[in-house]
Amino acid sequence: MNNWLDALRKRWLRVVGLGRSTPKTTGQTTPSEADLSQTVPIREIKPTHVGKIHKHLKALGPDDRYLRFGYAATDEQIGEYIHSLDFERDSLFGIYNRRLDLIAMAHLSYSIDPDCASCAEFGVSVAHASRGRGYGTRLFERAITHARNEGVRLLFVHALSENTAMIKIAKRAGARIERDGSDSQAHLRLPPADFDSRMEEMLDQQVAWTDYQLKTQAKQFWAWLGLNRPRTKNSTSPEA
Ligand SMILES: CC(C)(COP(=O)(O)OP(=O)(O)OC[C@H]1O[C@@H](n2cnc3c(N)ncnc32)[C@H](O)[C@@H]1OP(=O)(O)O)[C@@H](O)C(=O)NCCC(=O)NCCS
């Protein structure tokens, strides 16, 4: 329990900007090291943010669309995918920058197959300019915690065999990878929910809520001044 309180205190200090924060830059640290020094607020995406989802997915280039959907989705097909999202049944998670643009998102889709009632599928995309900072990894971890708390016991990720980054993320979390030519499927068995998983999710939600409120207020403040916020940092990071 003391560990929990300590983790809670450290996370809050980071959110309010008083804790040590060393953003990860590719090649310098691994996501697990970044976790120790940086909290990435991840918010559940609400249906009111379909416009942001549109903007994020449409900004993906043809190769990324191919990796994300398994085919080079056109703008129209992306529109159909978004239209088919079921916010009541599935869970979507997002990372927002200071301008509240969606820079990364994950979709946890629960199985409707009665033979696999406690299964879910994970899909993710990170804006090109925001890669290599551990966001894909963090979204996977966030989805795992949520899935456990929702009673999911088996998580799937479909990925092309060439998708080194996604396969690395899944493998590091303990997934078994089955390769079938150019396609791969990752299977991750999840332990049942426990006190830690529930507390962790509650904490993540609080951190994300606070982060989003602060960014909203800052955005309103700059709008009230009639100014765009000065771009002192890279807008591809949640801090920017
Ligand atoms: C896959 C994806 C989500 C990874 O996002 P990310 O935020 O860059 O991932 P992370 O920063 O957590 O990196 C995970 C690992 O992959 C590595 N990696 C990232 N991009 C890589 C690449 N192009 N080639 C090889 N390794 C790569 C990272 O270095 C990291 O490994 P490390 O911890 O040993 O350094 C992102 O590349 C993406 O959006 N791709 C297009 C959509 C897609 O492929 N979705 C997955 C299928 S649903």
Cβ atoms of 169 and 134 closer than 8 Å: no
Residues 221, 201: Cα–Cα separation, whole Å: 30
Cβ atoms of 164 and 183 closer than 8 Å: no
Q: How far is the CA of 48 from the centre of ligand 1 (A)?
A: 28
pLDDT tier at 28, thresholds 50, 70, 90: very low
CA angle (207 as vertex; 202, 132 as ends), nearest 5 = 110
Residues with CB under 6 A from ligand 1: 30-31, 64, 67-68, 123-126, 131-137, 159, 163-166, 168-169
Write the pLDDT tens digit of every residue in 106-150. 999 999 999 999 999 999 999 999 999 999 999 999 999 999 999
The pLDDT value recorded for residue 105 is 98
Give mean pLDDT, residues 205-231: 84
Q: How far is the CA of 42 from the centre of ligand 1 (A)?
A: 17
- Which ligand 1 atom is nearest residue 131's CA? 8
> Ligand 1, residues 30, 125, 139: which to mutate, most atoms within 8 A of Cβ?
125
Place of tokens 């009673």: 151
**Maximum distance among all alpha carbons in the chain?**
57
Task: For ligand 1, atom 12, name the residue with the nearest CA.
Answer: 134
What pTM, to 2 d.p., does this model score?
A: 0.85
pLDDT tier at 233, thresholds 50, 70, 90: low
pLDDT tier at 170, thresholds 50, 70, 90: very high
Task: For ligand 1, atom 33, name the residue with the nearest CA.
Answer: 30
The pLDDT value recorded for residue 234 is 56
Q: Per mean pLDDT, which range of 30-34, 96-100, 154-158, 176-180 is the poorest?
A: 30-34
E strands of the chain, at which residues? 43-44, 91-96, 102-110, 119-126, 154-160, 176-180, 183-189
Helices (H), strands (E): how many in the chain?
8, 7
Token output for 81? 């995918």
pLDDT tier at 231, thresholds 50, 70, 90: low
Pairing mode of beta strands 154-160, 119-126: parallel
Write the pLDDT tens digit of every residue in 36-58. 346 899 999 999 999 999 999 99
pLDDT tier at 67, thresholds 50, 70, 90: very high
Neighbours of 27 (CB within 10 A): 7
Task: For ligand 1, atom 20, name the residue with the nearest CA.
Answer: 165
- Which ligand 1 atom is nearest residue 64's CA? 41
The pLDDT value recorded for residue 207 is 94
The pLDDT value recorded for residue 17 is 52
Q: What percent of the chain has pLDDT over 70?
A: 79
Cβ atoms of 6 and 222 closer than 8 Å: no
DSSP state of 225: T
Write the pLDDT tens digit of every residue in 189-210. 999 999 999 999 999 999 999 9
Task: For ligand 1, atom 23, name the residue with the nearest CA.
Answer: 165
Q: How far is the CA of 176 from the centre of ligand 1 (A)?
A: 18
Describe the crossing of helices 50-58 and 75-84 by its angle, rounded to 10 degrees. Answer: 150
Phi, then psi, of 187 in degrees rounded to 5: -120, 125
Q: Which domains does the chain have, with CATH numbers?
A: 30-195 (3.40.630.30)
> Ligand 1, residues 35, 71, 105, 166: which to mutate, most atoms within 8 A of Cβ?
166
The full 3-state SS of 168-222, as one line of letters, equals HHHHHCCCEEEEECCEEEEEEECCCCCHHHHHHHHHHHHHHHHHHHHHHHHHHHH
Q: How far is the CA of 98 from the centre of ligand 1 (A)?
A: 22
Residue 52 exposure: Cα atoms within 13 Å on the Cβ side = 20
Give mean pLDDT, residues 74-102: 96
